[in-house]
Amino acid sequence: MISSPKARGGYRRATFLVGLAFGAWAAAPAFAAGSMTIGGLTSQPIGHYEFCRANPSECSIRSRDTGPERMSGELWQTLVDVNLEVNGAVGPANDFDIYGKDEVWAYPEDSIGDCEDYVLEKRRELVARGLSLSNLLITVVRKSDGEGHAILTVRTDRGDFVLDNLTDAIRPWEASGYHFLKRQASNHTGHWVTIREGQAPLVGSVQ
């Protein structure tokens, strides 16, 4: 899967605007994003399967699900910072141009990558800043044009939020405009679960 980022404003301006948005809804206790409804176990995307073969230690972590992250101004700023930093540091390139084949999930090499590579890097950065793997879930969606895409879902006590290489804004998952298909299980980094009322993915899967 490949996606190209939209034109971005400066880091400070984006941080300021998103910070204002957080301040507005944080001041209203009634505001809450929704949480995805998860179904049963399903197949891994083929790219994640191959990533796990190459990185078995990353895909055998059994996390104890202690619940979503508690949303705070500090957490929101961390999400904003990581999303902006990775989106700005990694340039878009498709797998075939980088590796000579499709569906390679990997950490960005030489500061280039496609959507899954952005997700992996953001997840790594957020874990380093203290977030739990059980709340940082690689998620496969379908864009409005039918193209498959990968994003990072962050589970919080105010709902599920999306970190995306196509925008610097942190959005509630329902406001992303995507069809949600499947995501990593919160209790095992090598397992995937369905997202209820999704549609069949347009990405290869290991059956």
Could you identify the residue written with the tokens 């409804």? 37
Residues contacting residue 39 through CB under 8 Å, at least 6 positions apart: 193, 194, 195, 196
Residues contacting residue 84 through CB under 8 Å, at least 6 positions apart: 11, 14, 15, 168
Q: Which of 12, 9, 167, 171 shows the shortest CA–CA distance to 76?
A: 171
On average, the pLDDT of the chain sits at 84
In this model, does residue 17 exceed pLDDT 60? no
pLDDT in tens, 113-158: 999 999 999 999 999 999 999 999 999 999 999 999 999 999 999 9
pLDDT in tens, 66-123: 899 999 999 999 999 999 999 999 999 988 888 889 899 999 988 999 999 999 999 9
Residue environment code for 115-140, b if the CB has 16+ CB neighbours within 10 A, otherwise e: bbbbbbbbbebbeeeebbbbbbbbbb
Rounded to the nearest 10°, the torsion over CA 77, 79, 80, 84 is: 140
Residues contacting residue 187 through CB under 8 Å, at least 6 positions apart: 62, 63, 64, 65, 134
